[in-house]
Structure 1
Amino acid sequence: MKTRRLGKTGYSVSEIGLGCWQLGGDFGPVGDETAGAILDAANAAGVSFWDTADVYGGGLSESRIGSHAKGPGVHVATKLGRGGGLFPNNFSKAGLRASLEGSAKRLGVATLDLAQLHCVPTAVLRDGAVFGWMDELKAEGLVRHWGASVETIEEGLICLEQPGCATLQIIFNLLRQDAATELLPKAAERDVGIIVRLPLASGLLSGKFDKDTRFAATDHRNYNADGQAFSVGETFSGLPFARGIELVAELKGLAPQALPMSQFALRWILDHPQVSTVIAGVSKPEQLADNVAASEQKSLFPALMGQLGEWYEKSVKPEIRGGV
């Protein structure tokens, strides 16, 4: 597995990471045996960056990671700010500390490798107090580094102004390309590691869905398809599902022959050198091999990268809901 530097953390992390939202059962039930097999497969493949959050399964994802053996060099990142009574407007240093202490206990560590503010409201980021509290909690030894997971370019740019911000987790994929213009270059200037989430746009870019695909009632691709539960941008990158299916069909016509759709999508992200790691969730351990293979694929030709950018601006961006 190829590795990259995660910004000012100095951590060396796998290009392909593991998103652990599904380990909390938020996409549908995941048994202990399957969860363990996914983490075993990650260790075996050299996937050394695992991303979770305190609210995934009410702490179940963190607990499963905490009780599982980790391979050499594995770094676990968690997130805070959506649970613990903090969201949307009750943020305090004491509240952040309590949340972090709960995560550390579930993960079985004294100090968290990386704690990320979890899509907190834009107004809270603009106020800025939350950043100072994270600096203080780092100084106390509760976290080694802190970062932020954001929903929009505006929020990302606010976070990049904070000297203590070590990482930025963003939505970035073939169906959400806006970060490439300003955000990624600025992050590189500030030595902020970029963690990409939703690389396959909630599975759309796997190429395995069609207009008749249905999702379980417990799956956010069902209950949040139109932003009923949280930001619509977190599901299918803000696209209506039916339109997303049509756009992926167009993409298949642009992809290099013999390159699987999911690897094409992941390779496009990795061809942006400012990206440190791409966190892709899997529901079955065997899916990891397909994700990891993208790291070994050849870079896409510059002409194709340009064509994909033009296609996005014309065909995709006007369709996105929830802001970019």
Structure 2
Amino acid sequence: MPVRRLGSTDVTVTAVGLGCAPLGGLFTPVDPVTATATVDTAWAGGIRHFDTAPHYGAGLSETRLGNALAPRDRADYTLSTKLGRVLVDHEGQWDLWAEPNGKRAEFDFSYRAAHDSYHGSLERLGADRVEIGLIHDADDHRDAALEGTYRALAELKAGGRIGAIGIGMNSTDAAADLIERADFDTALIAGRYTLLDQSALDRLYPLCRERGVSVIAAGVFNSGILADPKPGATFNYAAADPRMVAKAQAIAAVCERHDTPLRAAALQFTAAHPAVASILVGARNPEEVDDALAMYAYPIPGALWHDLKRAGLLAEEAPVP
């Protein structure tokens, strides 16, 4: 598995990382044994970057990831987690998380909350450090995030407690604004450079390259539609518009003509942009990890990309493998 460096730091990530939101019970429960087996399968496949957040299952993802990685040598893998939310008491299910655990996450971008969040993550992960700290979903809280969370992250980096700092968000405009206003090493961007959405091409990715910010690309399937573009599929965590389903099906038809699974094209397209250091694949069981790794390595004929562009299904300026 190729390894890439983030920005000008010494932090490295594998070309494919494991997104651990599903291990926190995103949409459906995941039992702890399956969570551990999922991480073990990723490890066996060469993955050494694991991304999580307190928001994911109100700490469940971090706890399960920490338990799964406990037997491993801490020097052999890279952890990323996020700051910008704190856990508070809550009874019952909340938001998209299917496993109530007495907590929920709420926004807090203050300096004190950032330090509390960092130490809480270390405790749940059973770790003495994380390599990557990301400001999480600060789209509507940019000033507060820069005044509080960013200041805390910069101090943690200066003190050697975090190796690389960045942002984790979905909005290209908000991400670009933050990158222009502060000094980041990496940007985890979900769903904005995919077969269906190449909005990161306009401003964000050129800015990242200009500023030396390494992109970690997540949401390569746009929350499901690019894995299985059937009516009722989800796009960005909501029911997909029929026009979006039709476009995904048209892309899938081109892939089929070239004997290529849509999932393979989705993964490899996102990974091909020179701004991207790593892609994250979310998985809730070992089978999904195995499938993602197989699709990442699947041989795709160059004519497929030519046909997608000729049909107007892919931006002409988009880099392809």
What is the TM-score with the length of structure 1 in the denominator? 0.80
User: Are the aligned partners of 1:150 and 1:169 in contact in 2 as well (CA < 8 Å)?
Assistant: yes
Pick aligned residue for 2:217 from 171, 190, 196: 196
User: Are the aligned partners of 1:49 and 1:75 in contact in 2 as well (CA < 8 Å)?
Assistant: yes
User: Are the aligned partners of 2:139 and 2:171 in contact in 1 as well (CA < 8 Å)?
Assistant: no
Which whole-Å deviations, capped at 9, do the CAs of 1:83-110 have from their partners, x for residues lacking one?
347954x432111100111001111122
Pick aligned residue for 1:99 from 113, 117, 123: 117
Q: Does 1:250 align with 2:255?
A: no
Equivalent in the alignment of 2:35: 35
- Secondary structure of the residue aligned to 1:194 is strand
* Corresponding letter in the other structure for 2:200: A
Richer in strand (by share): 2
Unmatched runs of 5 consecutive residues or more in structure 2: 89-104, 317-321
Equivalent in the alignment of 1:322: none
User: Are the aligned partners of 1:84 and 1:95 in contact in 2 as well (CA < 8 Å)?
Assistant: no
User: Are the aligned partners of 1:263 and 1:290 in contact in 2 as well (CA < 8 Å)?
Assistant: no
- Secondary structure of the residue aligned to 1:161 is helix
User: Are the aligned partners of 1:204 and 1:248 in contact in 2 as well (CA < 8 Å)?
Assistant: yes
Pick aligned residue for 1:117 from 129, 135, 152: 135
User: Are the aligned partners of 2:226 and 2:263 in contact in 1 as well (CA < 8 Å)?
Assistant: yes
User: Are the aligned partners of 2:187 and 2:215 in contact in 1 as well (CA < 8 Å)?
Assistant: yes
- Secondary structure of the residue aligned to 2:68 is coil
How many residue pairs were aligned?
291
CA distance in 2, matches of 1:20, 1:242: 29
CA distance in 1, matches of 2:159, 2:3: 30
Equivalent in the alignment of 2:184: 165
CA distance in 2, matches of 1:294, 1:5: 23
**Offset of 1:152 from its aligned partner?**
1.4
Q: Does 1:279 align with 2:297?
A: no
Equivalent in the alignment of 2:95: none
Equivalent in the alignment of 1:216: none
Change (3 A) 1:143 1:244: same
**Offset of 1:300 from its aligned partner?**
4.2
Equivalent in the alignment of 1:3: 3
Equivalent in the alignment of 1:292: 293
Aligned pairs (5 A) from 1:140-289? 140-171=159-190, 172-207=193-228, 209-211=229-231, 234-235=236-237, 240-255=240-255, 257-289=258-290
- Secondary structure of the residue aligned to 2:231 is coil
User: Are the aligned partners of 2:139 and 2:169 in contact in 1 as well (CA < 8 Å)?
Assistant: no
User: Are the aligned partners of 1:268 and 1:300 in contact in 2 as well (CA < 8 Å)?
Assistant: no
CA RMSD of aligned residues (A): 2.7
CA distance in 2, matches of 1:103, 1:164: 23
CA distance in 2, matches of 1:91, 1:212: 35
CA distance in 1, matches of 2:44, 2:162: 27
Q: Does 1:24 align with 2:24?
A: yes
**Offset of 1:19 from its aligned partner?**
0.7
Which whole-Å deviations, capped at 9, do the CAs of 1:233-270 have from their partners, x for residues lacking one?
8425xx73544332211111222612111011111112
CA distance in 1, matches of 2:87, 2:291: 36
| Aligned-residue identity in percent | 29
* Corresponding letter in the other structure for 2:186: T
* Corresponding letter in the other structure for 1:276: A
Higher relative contact order (CA 8 A, sep 6+): 1
CA distance in 2, matches of 1:12, 1:254: 35
Equivalent in the alignment of 1:51: 51
* Corresponding letter in the other structure for 1:272: H
- Secondary structure of the residue aligned to 1:28 is coil
CA distance in 1, matches of 2:9, 2:300: 28
Unmatched runs of 5 consecutive residues or more in structure 1: 214-220, 222-232, 315-324
CA distance in 1, matches of 2:217, 2:31: 26
* Corresponding letter in the other structure for 1:262: R
